[in-house]
């Protein structure tokens, strides 16, 4: 091969390599439907006026105490029966699936809560405390003495009002300030059991403000409505605490009609970063016409479990809850 032929071959190789087709995967922009006015969004929130709710769900508690190290620890799913009544009454019974052994039973009247812990055996006790207090120091001390107490301590971090806020959000009050913006987010979407894709989704976000004791406005809640679905379902609720920090992040997924006709998310995920736990609820039944009785929210220590008042059994003063 002479010099010119060699030069031509090199040039041909160069342009061939330069024209190799490459594929780049970019996020798919999903179709966006018309949004609603702020007044219409508020009406949608306030129309969720069921005074009582009874639901059955699989409950998975996730320990977030090591989240800063990139570790989260989900515990075994349990069966749960949840009964709610406005404004803040709640009953939560948690059982081991199949054998139906009670793990714990919890009630709250909005100010005080009681928890009967039945399992594991070594932590059997009857606890009382205040919804407005945080007992993180006590749980940290328990973990230092017994690392295996992680699942127990994650469970007793749950406060009844966390569930009430997620499942029966408070209406937006007359006189509260608010504004609406659109948000475009890139996120993962599960399209099959084995496939995911990146998508761009548009949300219509209602920001609800309130006035503090000092007369200043602060952000109280954000309601995120999914504009990629024609029904604009509520997809996310973010709740802010007294210091402006996020106290609850609640995601609502896979809406469906249940047997009683209730249109409800099949899955609700509650993340409580200040309390270092998350909870995943997968609903299999929902009844918004449930009638409570005087015994529904009464929890008695029928098994004579060791009693502990979390507000009185330690030299540590309980810290204030991060919630307002």
Assign 165 a pLDDT band (cuts: 50, 70, 90): confident
For position 265, what pLDDT does the model report?
Answer: 94
196 within some domain: yes
**pLDDT above 90: residue 251:** yes
Mean confidence (pLDDT) of the chain: 81
Q: How many domains does the chain have?
A: 2
pTM over 0.75: yes
19 within some domain: no
| Contact by Cβ (8 Å): 269, 250 | yes
For position 319, what pLDDT does the model report?
Answer: 55
**pLDDT above 90: residue 233:** yes
Claim to verify: residue 63 and residue 151 sit in the same structural domain? yes
Claim to verify: residue 142 and residue 233 sit in the same structural domain? no
7 within some domain: no
* Residue 184 burial by Cβ neighbours in a 10 Å radius (0-12, 13-18, 19+): exposed
2 within some domain: no
Claim to verify: residue 82 and residue 39 sit in the same structural domain? no
30, two tokens:
């999903």
For position 270, what pLDDT does the model report?
Answer: 95
For position 38, what pLDDT does the model report?
Answer: 94
147 within some domain: yes
Claim to verify: residue 185 and residue 36 sit in the same structural domain? yes
Summarize pLDDT for 202-214 with one digit per residue, the tens: 999 999 998 887 8
153 within some domain: yes
**pLDDT above 60: residue 318:** no
Claim to verify: residue 242 and residue 194 sit in the same structural domain? yes
- Over range 104-116, report the average pLDDT: 87
Domain that holds residue 252: 29-46+176-276
* H helix or E strand, kind and range, residue 142: helix 136-145
- Over range 233-257, report the average pLDDT: 92
20 within some domain: no
- Over range 99-116, report the average pLDDT: 85
| Contact by Cβ (8 Å): 93, 107 | no
41 within some domain: yes
Summarize pLDDT for 13-62 with one digit per residue, the tens: 555 555 555 556 688 888 999 999 999 999 999 887 667 889 999 999 88
Claim to verify: residue 80 and residue 181 sit in the same structural domain? no
- Over range 141-162, report the average pLDDT: 62
Claim to verify: residue 144 and residue 249 sit in the same structural domain? no
Claim to verify: residue 162 and residue 300 sit in the same structural domain? yes
Give percent of the chain above pLDDT 70: 77
Claim to verify: residue 59 and residue 149 sit in the same structural domain? yes
**pLDDT above 80: residue 88:** no
Instruction: Please report, for residues 83, 94, 101, 103, 162, the alpha-carbon distance to residue 98 in angstroms, rounded to integers and kept in the order given.
Output: 21, 12, 8, 13, 27
Q: What string of DSSP letters covers 206-225? A: EEEEEE-TTS-EEEEEEEEE
């Amino acid at each position: 091969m002479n010099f010119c032929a060699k030069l031509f071959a090199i040039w041909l190789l160069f342009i061939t390599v330069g024209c190799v087709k490459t594929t780049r995967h970019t996020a798919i922009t999903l179709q966006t439907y018309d949004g609603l006015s702020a007044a219409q969004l508020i009406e949608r929130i306030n129309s969720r006026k069921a005074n009582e709710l009874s639901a059955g769900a699989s409950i998975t508690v996730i320990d977030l105490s090591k989240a800063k190290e990139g570790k989260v620890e989900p515990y075994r799913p349990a069966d749960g029966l949840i009964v709610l009544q406005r404004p803040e009454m709640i009953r939560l019974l948690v059982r081991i699936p199949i054998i139906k052994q009670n793990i714990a039973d919890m009630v709250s009247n909005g100010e005080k809560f009681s928890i009967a812990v039945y399992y594991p055996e070594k932590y059997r006790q009857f606890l009382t405390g205040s919804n407005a207090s945080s007992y993180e120091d006590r749980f940290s001390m328990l973990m230092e003495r017994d690392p295996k107490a992680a699942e127990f301590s994650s469970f007793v971090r749950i406060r009844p009002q966390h569930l009430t806020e997620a499942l029966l959000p408070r209406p937006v009050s007359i006189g509260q300030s608010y504004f609406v913006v659109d948000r475009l987010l890139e996120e993962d979407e599960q399209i099959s059991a084995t496939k995911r894709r990146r998508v761009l989704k548009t949300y219509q976000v209602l920001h609800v403000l309130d006035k503090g004791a000092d007369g200043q406005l602060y952000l109280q809640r954000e309601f995120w409505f999914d504009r990629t679905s024609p029904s604009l379902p509520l997809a996310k609720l973010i709740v802010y605490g007294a210091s402006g920090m996020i106290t609850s992040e609640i995601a609502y997924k896979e809406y469906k009609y249940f047997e009683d006709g209730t249109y409800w998310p099949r899955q609700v995920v509650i993340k409580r970063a200040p309390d270092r736990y998350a909870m995943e609820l997968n609903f299999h039944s929902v009844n918004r016409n449930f009638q409570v009785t005087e015994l529904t929210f009464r929890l008695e220590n029928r098994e004579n479990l060791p009693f502990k008042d979390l507000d009185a059994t330690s030299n540590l003063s309980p810290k204030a809850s991060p919630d307002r």
